[in-house]
Structure 1
Amino acid sequence: MGYRLKRAAAALRGAMDRGLREHGLTVPQYACLELLDQQPGLSNAELARGTFVTRQSMNVVLRGLQDGGLITRPATTEHGRALPAHLTEEGRRRLAAARGVVYAIDQRLADAVPAERLPGLLADLDRLSAAFDE
């Protein structure tokens, strides 16, 4: 089962890598932009948790997005060490353009499963993830 899950995840990642490349984004960058669109002001640690990467990797992602003009972060903060990130107008534009690619890939996944089985599959995937919650 684990091998099949990994194979499906690798196929999904490959399709997303190819699709997002045309928008100048990586999968972690896209995921970061999506999270910031939903919850502006998230910190590096919060974004790392939400995109399934390490804090160190998220630092690289955020630097790339900032250098590309897709997000802004203050140089310093008044409280603690967290530097809240926000989308720029260019970040919103790039995210909107890339969403079509990601949504089309997600639809291909859904179309590969008979419609009457999809709710059960999604519930099973949630249970598989929860099996490792500690």
Structure 2
Amino acid sequence: MNVRRTGIDLDTSLGYALKEAASALRSAMEDALRPLGLGVTQYACLELLDQRPGLSASDLARGVFVTRQTMNVLLQALERDGMVARDADAALGRSLPARLTTRGRAALQDATTAVRAVEVRMLTGLTEAEQTHALQVLTGMASALRAPAPPDPDGA
């Protein structure tokens, strides 16, 4: 009996392909960062702090796509390891802006080299124009999903 199924065709679904690529990227990054004693989330936090020093835990959590509670645990571990420093007194109420230490900058430099090698491997075979186009398409997809959903014309 041949049963017709409705749903998403995983072989042609852009969403599924995107999730598969994201999963493969994360796995490759974890493999590259493991020898350095870092994970992807730790690396992302260090990278964000390097580019935007003084961010609060809430700002970092949003930028790294984790909860505030997870970020607080992560920051405590990075502080304990001497990679991040936060002032004991918060000038902005309860927010404790974080910054990289010398050790954190050195760890970030090694991690960035490892992550960049993964990205270069991922982009092998794509021309510069294709890379630019892929970035535009992915940014457009993210923007479309962040915008309010259009009303359902059927009212369902």
Instruction: Pick the TM interval, shorter chain.
Output: over 0.9
* Structure 1 stretches of 4+ moved >6 Å: none
**1:79-100 deviation digits (Å, cap 9, x = unpaired):** 3111010111110111111111
Matched with 2:84 is 71
- Taking structure 2 as the reference length, the TM-score comes to 0.81
Larger relative contact order (CA 8 Å, sep ≥ 6): 1
Structure (1 or 2) with the larger CA radius of gyration? 2
Q: 1:58 corresponds to which letter in structure 2?
A: M
CA RMSD of aligned residues (A): 1.2
Q: 2:130 corresponds to which letter in structure 1?
A: R
Within 2, Cα distance between the matches of 1:120 and 1:89?
37
- Taking structure 1 as the reference length, the TM-score comes to 0.94
With 92-101 and 117-126 compared, the bigger mean Cα shift is at 117-126
How much identity, in percent, do the aligned residues show?
48
**Structure 1: gaps of 5 or more residues:** none
Matched with 2:9 is none
Within 1, Cα distance between the matches of 2:48 and 2:127?
30
Secondary structure of the structure 1 residue equivalent to 2:145: coil
Larger proportion of helix: 1
Change (3 A) 1:42 1:72: same
Alignment coverage as a number of residue pairs:
134
Quick check: 1:86 aligned with 2:86? no
